[in-house]
Structure 1
Amino acid sequence: MYTFEELSKLFIEKFEVDHFPASPKTLYDPNRYFLQLGGKRIRPVLCVMGNDLFDVINPDTWPVAKAIELFHNFTLIHDDIMDNAPLRRGMQTVHEKYGQSTALLAGDVMLVKAYDYLNAISRDYSKNIIALFNKTARQVCEGQQLDMDFEKKQEVGFEEYLNMINLKTSVLLAASLQLGAILGGASERNQQLIYEFGRKLGLAFQVQDDYLDAFGDPDKFGKQVGGDIKANKKTFLLIHALEAASADQKTALNELLHSDGDNKVEQVLAIFKACKVDQWAASLKEQFMNEAFTHLEDIAVVAKRKEPLKQLANYLVEREH
């Protein structure tokens, strides 16, 4: 049984190899550049933790974890294009550095490489692994499309937003854990429980992300607070504020959303606080965490084996950056 930190170190050692051919450099170097930007590698390590919860680590878990990380980075390259984002982790995005057409191809070939890793695992598991991987990949694309659709919608309901976040963010965390559980020989019921643990953890993670963007300490958060407000992004906070606001507050909020004034962030935050959005977000996060931990407790393995997942879950949702 390993901690997240121990498994993270092991995964990084295995992942930091050259995944791509030498030629053409103009196609593969952008991917090498993007992968060296780093990241927390949470999803692939969750896959290994999902295996480690049930049994000793199956050698096939490492290529599956690599496939998950490559898939996640493929989505980031394409997301950056769709968002027209100039920076990722403080560095130029692939489309900014190498051009949009190359970035599209680089992302595509990164996804192809993910399937090379999946194709390398034992046929005893590959059918179930690839079925879950494909279902999850499709759902992530659906979530991204809904997110873009919401930018054009005047109002988005709480349940609509929850469904979008579930698809865009939560299912990949959940599937990473279940993929590891499959490789660890978990029963169907235990697989579903660890999936639901990951899904609810993903929702709590997003609530914390939305909260930090509005109320975080900029020195700890590492970026300017209020980015979502400036971009008029639909978030848990904005959706609840529009539902909880008085008629006057709602009018003021809608006017602010259509303005670019210097004090926009401060004025929106004042309405958020008046509507007690910060307290509501803390309560919602706690609800999702309690549900996640209930699923984890129901998994039929000894409690001690669950400790690393509990510690990681608490870190992810209590973080300040």
Structure 2
Amino acid sequence: MQSTALRFLEVSSEYRLSSNDFETTVWITDPDIEFRRATILEEHNDNVTVGFHDENGHFEKRIIPKSEVKLPSVSYFVEDMCNLSELNDACVLEAVRSRYEAQLIHTYSGLFCIVVNPWKNIPIYTKEVMEVYMHTVDRNYYHLPPHIYAVAQTAYDGLLSGNNQSILITGESGAGKTVNTKRIIEYLGAVSEYRGQFGISDGIDKRLTAAGIVIEAFANASTIYNSNSSRLGKFIRMDYDDDMIMKGAQIQTCLLEKSRVVKQNNDDRNFHIFYQLLSDGFDKDLRYSFGLGQSANAYKFLNQGGKIKDPEIDDAQGAVDTL
């Protein structure tokens, strides 16, 4: 079961064999792409001559200071950045990029878990994968492939030891903070339900997720970077009883971008709720009773960004979910 469940979390032999060209290349800084691979052709006192092929296949030489040369790592498919043979900016970025191309979106960096948004569905958040991390015998999740489930389970184990726990999820817009928060809540809910087999599990996680849908309607918006961008910060508190079963939860919000209600930048929309109110998912008679008889394009507070429809957002379905 474990090998089947984790097949999308492990490095394939194809990628593992293609990553070891460290004997002939180094990393040099590049103003266009941050770092690029190059070969040392000559060494001088304080400088080196390097050569590389650019994106068009043309061979180019450069003389650069030795201090700008970054040594490569033996492998870039390490599951923890701390295990890179050379720990520099170029190797860290290449490790994240290489794993991402292999659809390995989770990578540890010590106690942190880096998650790169794949912008597509990958079957790594299934019940089977949950059970692998939930039932690990030695409780050493770092023997398993990197995953946010391991982060959640480690926090839950801390609760079992009688210590309060915190999980911080941070990143730029579109990084996947909202989705990963949902994944962690789902996992902690599954653990609570498992422990509640011989007691009572109140399904707090499902109600917490449902509350999140309403918050997203009133506080999320489509931006140039992200179709479902959270325009506020959230602090979620989950309370457990003595049997470590989830018994309550609170969501505190802060820093809501209130100015978006009256002004949006180009290619941005107002908060989702306004477009949901004007969609087919909202009762037409009720909408008319509110004096909302026109399309979203007719309202100044909704059309300033020039984006009324977002192909990634189903306003009608969003209205149904919110209601």
Pairwise TM-score range, normalised by the shorter structure = under 0.3
Q: Which has the higher helix share?
A: 1
Q: Which has the higher strand share?
A: 2
Larger Rg: 2
The structure, 1 or 2, with the larger RCO (C-alpha pairs under 8 Å, 6+ apart) is: 1
